[in-house]
């Protein structure tokens, strides 16, 4: 049995706790929270379930003194110093907020490698898209084809279902002016993860790509205002965003990661749509032959369902939880998808042997 500490109790954190409780090899033993009003409360209460007998705490040292094997680290923003402290305490870390394919020449990454060695611990980043859709799945399906010329991983999502008004407005930039959104934090937050994802695929497939990853972003604005969405929007404010990151060979893209976020049912200028296929993730490998894989079910079927429990958020947590046993058994250091065995889920408790 692997003993787990959950770090933060937002949407991903709540789903992660539920995942730990259903996993036959895992036990929840601790939980870090950011706000003082959650300190000391039972974790079950924080996620809307029965008491679990595990109290949440804001005290990092108290948590790191616990006998635990792994920390599922999912705050809004990562802190290298905190992660290094966790690793030095001898606890492995799985996380969706960074280090999916880090630059080993970077001094901050080297410091984390040193912390791994000092604590005999492992750090695994699952990638910015749920379950490795931008990294793991392109590499998996690439084995079905040959003479590859382009790999694309792309998201199409309706942001009406993202039930976090502060994040949607202040971080993602919806409801702000185009200038405010384009200069806001979202591109920087995304590119750290997506650039690593694109580089991983390009490197592993052997592309002679340029060191620089090409990045672009666009916005569309609402034609009329509305107060009926997760954030209010005036006419002329941002109601859709597109981001794209590409590895380049001879001025042509060979690996593309793209994000399309729209407030659907809002008239947009320019008139973007999510397409007839609806919300989805797509992974496409162009080669001999071309292969296209479409993921459905990672976005909610209705806006109301998404505001209650978003499947994409749950999937993000599930991957990390499924990876914990493998990460705990790996050697010290930062381990990517390329270093770990296949990550799988587990049977429902009532069906397990």
- Whether residues 109 and 176 share a domain: the answer is no
In whole angstroms, what is the distance from residue 149 CA to residue 250 CA? 12
User: How would you write 263-301 as a 3-class SS string?
Assistant: CCCCCEECCCCCCCCCCEEEEEEEEECCEEEEECCCCCC
- Whether residues 222 and 241 share a domain: the answer is yes
- Whether residues 288 and 330 share a domain: the answer is no
Q: What is the pTM of this model?
A: 0.93
- Whether residues 139 and 264 share a domain: the answer is yes
CB 15 within 8 A of CB 168: no
In whole angstroms, what is the distance from residue 100 CA to residue 278 CA? 28
Domain containing residue 108: CATH number? 3.40.50.720
- Whether residues 172 and 288 share a domain: the answer is yes
**Span 263-313, pLDDT tens digits:** 998 999 999 999 999 999 999 999 999 999 999 998 888 877 777 788 888
Q: What is the pLDDT of residue 178?
A: 97
Domain containing residue 162: CATH number? 3.30.360
- Whether residues 278 and 338 share a domain: the answer is no
Which residue range is the domain that position 94 belongs to? 2-125+315-351
Q: What is the pLDDT of residue 335?
A: 98
- Whether residues 145 and 248 share a domain: the answer is yes
- Whether residues 193 and 88 share a domain: the answer is no
- Whether residues 168 and 219 share a domain: the answer is yes
Q: How far is CA 51 from CA 40, 87, 192, 220, in A?
A: 12, 29, 38, 45
Low-confidence ranges of the chain (pLDDT < 50): none
- Whether residues 226 and 110 share a domain: the answer is no
- Whether residues 197 and 291 share a domain: the answer is yes
CB 39 within 8 A of CB 58: yes
Q: How many domains does the structure of the chain reveal?
A: 2
Domain end among 275, 291, 308: 308
- Cα angle 330, 137, 341 (rounded to 5 degrees) comes to 20
Q: What is the pLDDT of residue 176?
A: 96
Q: What is the pLDDT of residue 339?
A: 97
Structure-token pair, residue 31: 């939980």
- Whether residues 162 and 212 share a domain: the answer is yes
* Phi (first) and psi of residue 48, to 5 degrees: 80, 25
Structure-token pair, residue 192: 């750290």
Which of 30, 40, 43 is closest to 3 using CA atoms? 30
**Span 60-110, pLDDT tens digits:** 999 999 999 999 999 988 999 999 999 999 999 999 999 999 999 999 999
């Amino acid at each position: 049995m692997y003993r787990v500490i959950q770090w933060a109790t937002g949407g991903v954190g709540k789903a992660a706790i539920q995942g730990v409780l259903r996993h036959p090899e895992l036990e929840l033993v601790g939980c870090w929270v950011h706000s003082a009003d959650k300190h000391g409360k039972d974790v079950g209460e924080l996620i809307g379930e029965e008491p679990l007998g595990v109290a949440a705490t804001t005290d990092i040292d108290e948590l790191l003194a616990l006998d635990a094997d792994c920390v599922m680290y999912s705050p809004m923003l990562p802190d290298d110093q905190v992660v290094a402290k966790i690793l030095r305490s001898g606890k492995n870390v799985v996380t969706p907020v960074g280090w999916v394919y880090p630059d080993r020449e970077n001094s901050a990454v080297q410091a984390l490698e040193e912390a791994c060695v000092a604590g005999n611990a492992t750090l695994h980043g699952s990638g910015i898209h749920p379950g490795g859709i931008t990294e793991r799945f392109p590499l998996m399906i690439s084995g079905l084809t040959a003479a590859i010329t382009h790999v694309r991983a792309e998201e199409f999502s309706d942001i009406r279902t993202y039930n976090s008004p502060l994040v949607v407005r202040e971080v993602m930039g919806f409801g702000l002016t185009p200038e405010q959104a384009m200069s806001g934090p979202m591109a920087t937050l995304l590119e750290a993860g997506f650039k690593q994802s694109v580089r991983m695929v390009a490197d592993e497939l052997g592309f002679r790509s340029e060191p620089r990853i090409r990045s672009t972003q666009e916005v569309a604005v609402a034609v009329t205002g509305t107060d009926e969405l997760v954030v209010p929007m005036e006419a002329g404010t941002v109601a859709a965003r597109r981001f794209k990151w590409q590895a380049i060979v001879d001025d042509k893209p060979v690996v593309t990661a793209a994000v399309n976020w729209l407030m659907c049912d809002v008239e947009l200028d320019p008139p973007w749509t999510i397409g007839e296929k609806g919300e989805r993730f797509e992974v496409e490998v162009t080669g001999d032959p071309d292969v296209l894989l479409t993921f459905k079910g990672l976005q909610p079927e209705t806006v109301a369902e998404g505001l209650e429990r978003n499947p994409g958020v749950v999937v993000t947590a599930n991957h990390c939880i499924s990876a914990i046993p493998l990460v705990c058994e790996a050697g010290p250091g930062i381990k990517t998808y390329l270093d770990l065995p296949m990550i799988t889920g587990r049977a429902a408790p009532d069906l397990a042997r």
